[in-house]
Amino acid sequence: MASKATRFHLYSLRIPLKVPFVTSLGSSDSVESVVLKVEDEDGRIGWGECNPFWPINGETVETCLAVGKHLAKALLGHEVSDMEGAHRIMDRMIHGNSSIKSAFDIALHDLAAHEADQPLWQFLGAKGCRPLVTDYTVSIGSPEKMAVDAASIVQNGFTVIKVKLGGSAAEDVARIRAIREVVGKEIPLRIDANQGWTPEQAIEILNELAVFNIQHCEEPIPRWQFMEMRRVKEASPIPVMADESCCDHHDAERLITLGACQRFNIKLGKSGGLFKAKKIIALAEQHGIEVQIGGFLESRLAWTAAAHLAQISDAARFFDMDTPLMFTADPVIGGIRYGPGGSIALPEGLGLAAAMDMVALTQVAVV
């Protein structure tokens, strides 16, 4: 008999960052997340987490906790393995709110995988595990500061660098030129404008940056200008990756129909969790779209879920999974392990094989 969710615990989590994380959308100096623990009638536990990123998903810790209480009440007694049904309940109850929905999705997947006596990657349909390699991000700033940060990243052994951009053509070209001068020509660079350019600026800047060995550019223009993405893609020598304009599988289908981009950036906090992220990956496989597994400022708990997801498809080619390395403390027990060169190894065990240290959490509600 399938197990059912009998209790939900909602927690808040706050951890300062080592240095501010700065993009064209703003600056963060700490992690503020919501953690969810779900129990079934047999005493099994599933863990989930979300990091609401205000400028992108329009949620805060406060809204996640408020909505989370309603979602928990609606999902009491729900069969933990019925993911489609869980999302139907959540989506009928409230539009959007993908961040808090992702915490419920991850926790239910963790619990269901435990019930199935499987690691999460196997429960998701993967045939085996492969090691992953993450990039490391340079926050936006002056060219001189960004060059120093990039040099430090290389000295620490990372083999791929992601660079935040989103300013004027002169500023952003100067930033990349300064970074190339200190790290050399060979190490791959990925750039992310976080919607910071107009279509005309994007075309100009991407053509100027073509000589700098850039793997791809994430979300060059405002998300609401997705109808202009194809024009940018076709005029750009650098592949375009949809991020803020690609939240769930419906967005992915629209972008594919438009021929808007060559790549998708999947984040569990945008998709609403693993269930819909798998749908995006299936579409990507069908249409020759390459995928990056990314995220927000989640701890290793949610990133462990993302790493399990990364195992299900060869379409997942790029991994932007560095933010736990920016924390001043690590509240996770088990979970993914970071190694030399940005390597990431999955844990052994059932489900996520990760849990939260209760000492780090502040309990907010039990439903």
Contacts for 318 with CB less than 8 Å, ≥ 6 apart: 135, 190, 215, 216, 263, 290, 291, 292, 293
CA angle 89, 94, 96 (to 5 degrees): 110
Sequence-ordered alpha helix ranges (H) in 116-156 = 120-123, 143-155
The sign of the torsion formed by the CA atoms of 198, 284, 296, 152 equals negative
Encoded tokens for 175: 């930033």
Structure tokens at 346: 């999955």
Q: Which sign, positive or negative, has the C-alpha torsion 206, 210, 211, 215? A: positive
C-alpha span between 88 and 24 (Å, rounded) = 35
Known catalytic residues? 164, 192, 218, 243, 267
Q: What is the largest CA-CA distance in the chain?
A: 63
Kindly state the tokens that stand for 178.
Answer: 């300064």
Tokens matching residue 308: 């399990």
Q: Please, how many CA atoms are within 13 Å of residue 238, restricted to the half-sphere of its CB?
A: 27
Where do the DSSP E strands lie in 51-208?
A: 132-133, 136-138, 161-164, 189-192
Non-local CB neighbours of 248 within 8 Å, separated by 6+ positions: 98, 270, 271, 272, 276, 279, 280
Amino acid at 56: I
* Encoded tokens for 238: 């650098």
* Orientation of helix 199-208 relative to helix 169-183, angle to 10°: 30
